[in-house]
Amino acid sequence: MEIPYTVHARPDTGLFNAKIGIWLFLASEVMLFGGLFSAYIFLRLGADYPWPVHDLDVTLGFWNTIVLIASSVTVVMAWACLKLRKFGWYRINMAITVICAGVFMFNKSLEYSAKFKHYAVKLTDGTILTGHMPEDEHGHTIPYTVKFGDVTELSLGIPVRQSAVTADPVDHVLPYVEGEAPKFKTEDGKEITLDKAAFAELRAAAIAKAKADKKDTATVKLTATAPFKVAARPSEIFGYTATTITFRDGTTATGKLIDDKMTLEVDGIDTRGVAQPEKSLAFDHRYLANWQKAFVANRDHHVSEFEHKYPTRDKARSATLQKESLYFKLHSATPPAEGAAHGDKHGAEAHAPAGSHGHGEAHHPTVIIEKKDITFFSNFTPKLNTYYAIYFTLTGLHGAHVVAGALVLLYFLVFDNKRLKKDPEHLANRVEVGGLFWHFVDLVWIFLFPLLYLL
């Protein structure tokens, strides 16, 4: 059965079916992105922290804008060439459109990668240190971990009935053991190597015993034949004390806390949340005390410059001034010479780690932060604040539209050759519909670029 009005227009609307369908779909897309843009505005107006301004790479965003605008032109040219039966030029222009989509997504991946590697650490006085985790000689990031030593015992709680949390040391403890996997003795003195088969047997016996004793939870204690060490990221544990560490499955290991300090290569000091910025905890003698004079000089320079240019404006209401004067970027491992400490006007952008990691001098000072001074830390992802939550939502959803649109156009180019030869007018209609979607994707970016990168 042939579908009507795929090539010729309907008499009642003057449009072929697919064109009506894409306009209805785009109307729903307008409501979707309109709601997200509104969410951005309300989040910004209601933010209880300094809203990030100029945190994104404007140059990269600008070139992505140029790339998408160029792709809008080439998709129209592809459609026009198809209507004129210039099939060679149709293929060239469609290929350029798909390549532009690939370039856009590649640039976006660079931007995302920089955010994933960039961290913010909030100290107890409100100061935020930004920077990167150190890297090993192979260029791999060394994550922040809590290290325990002299671990001699594991305590397991196994619910008799199905539960969301149940002990599974094979998957939740052993992966974080440093060195060889330890051997254990059970409560009846039997020595075992803890693997899935051994734990399944142990678990079944413990549950059977708990049922016989009419208990809801089976408790199992495993004693290590030799002390061992574990090192786990904070996201992989529930908590710890000086003598115990509890993993996400509820297993508790008894030992001794060795180290819970964080090593950070600092590239920025944000004191906008501190009552007396020059007395920030960042300038404690344990951390960056030698940078205090450079920070004060940078702050005073920007304040003086603002007062000279805008004598009637309120300094406290200028987000740009607050960032330039109180968010100090560190471009070297040692403080600059006096009088040369004026920061970059665009604040702290997320760049790849600048340290050479054993191949020369590092470009940023390295500090070891005590856990008691840290209230929160995260890389520049939705976990950090609502700005990055809405940023990743908007750009991620837009990126998904770019990929979907590019795949459709690529299908027309590569797999629709039969229609190209037998019914080019039908293919032209399909390309027109794909082009309308592509223009919408480009239009969304025209709004995203100034909203996220410039304002």
pLDDT value of position 318? 85
User: What's the rounded Cα separation, in Å, for the pair 391 and 386?
Assistant: 8
Catalogue the long-range contacts made by 401-405 (C-beta closer than 8 Å, 24 or more residues apart).
401/437, 401/441, 401/444, 402/101, 402/104, 402/105, 402/441, 403/101, 403/105, 405/101, 405/434, 405/437, 405/438, 405/441
Length of the chain: 455
Roughly how many angstroms between the first and final C-alpha of the chain, as a whole number?
54
pLDDT value of position 138? 83
The dihedral over CA atoms of 329, 335, 337, 342, expressed in degrees to the nearest 10, equals 10
pLDDT value of position 2? 61
pLDDT value of position 69? 95
User: What's the rounded Cα separation, in Å, for the pair 122 and 151?
Assistant: 31
Q: Nearest 5°: phi and psi at 238?
A: -85, -35
User: What's the rounded Cα separation, in Å, for the pair 83 and 94?
Assistant: 14
Q: Nearest 5°: phi and psi at 145?
A: -135, 155
Q: 8: which DSSP letter?
A: S
Residue 421 and residue 403 in contact, taking contact as beta carbons nearer than 8 Å = no
Q: Which of 345, 448, 441, 438 is nearest to 391 (CA)?
A: 448
pLDDT value of position 358? 42
Residue 255 and residue 151 in contact, taking contact as beta carbons nearer than 8 Å = yes
CB count in 10 Å sphere of residue 429: 24
Identity of residue 324: E
For the segment 404-446, what is each residue's pLDDT rounded down to a tens digit?
A: 999 999 998 988 777 667 777 878 888 888 899 999 999 999 9
pLDDT value of position 351? 40
User: What's the rounded Cα separation, in Å, for the pair 294 and 329?
Assistant: 10
This prediction has a pTM of 0.80
Q: Which residues of the chain have pLDDT under 70?
A: 1-18, 338-362, 419-420
Query: Which SS3 state, helix, strand or coil, does residue 301 take?
Result: helix
**Burial of residue 340, with CB atoms counted within 10 A of its CB: 0-12 exposed, 13-18 middle, 19 or more buried:** exposed
pLDDT value of position 363? 81
Q: Which two tokens stand for residue 38?
A: 């509104």
Residue 344 and residue 267 in contact, taking contact as beta carbons nearer than 8 Å = no
pLDDT value of position 187? 86
User: What's the rounded Cα separation, in Å, for the pair 92 and 78?
Assistant: 8
| CA angle 132–137–138, rounded 5-degree value | 90
**Burial of residue 449, with CB atoms counted within 10 A of its CB: 0-12 exposed, 13-18 middle, 19 or more buried:** middle
CB count in 10 Å sphere of residue 33: 18
User: What's the rounded Cα separation, in Å, for the pair 152 and 236?
Assistant: 20
| CA angle 159–165–166, rounded 5-degree value | 45
pLDDT value of position 416? 73
Query: Which SS3 state, helix, strand or coil, does residue 451 take?
Result: helix
What's the sign of the alpha-carbon dihedral 410, 411, 412, 414? positive
